[in-house]
Structure 1
């Protein structure tokens, strides 16, 4: 059985971490690409989180805002 390397394992990000990145992207002090590099996250993932906040349908968004336990 092959052993998973650190880079092969999926990472899980907390709702608070995602919310922080989205809020920082709205401040526009750094570009989304710069934010992604700063936090070692894929740029497309950050754009997805921003889109999910704008739509407001994702569970993590409601959790980050304290609307769901």
Structure 2
């Protein structure tokens, strides 16, 4: 009788608390992941801007001339 009236309800309560804690931790992980991504985006954009600037400075005639001089 004590098993069904006291022990089982306590076990179910503890299981529910564990599930709630697990869900809370998942929620916190998701929020922190988004915050980290948001902080990284400006750095990535700056790198991409640098790549575009460097790519626009490529002179195909100069590159081809260097390649040809290496072959000779």
TM-score range, shorter chain: under 0.3
- TM-score scaled by length of structure 1: 0.25
Structure with bigger helix share is: 2
Structure-2-length-normalised TM-score: 0.25
> Which of these two proteins has the greater Rg computed from alpha carbons?
2
Ranked by relative contact order (alpha carbons within 8 Å, sequence separation 6 or more), the top structure is: 1
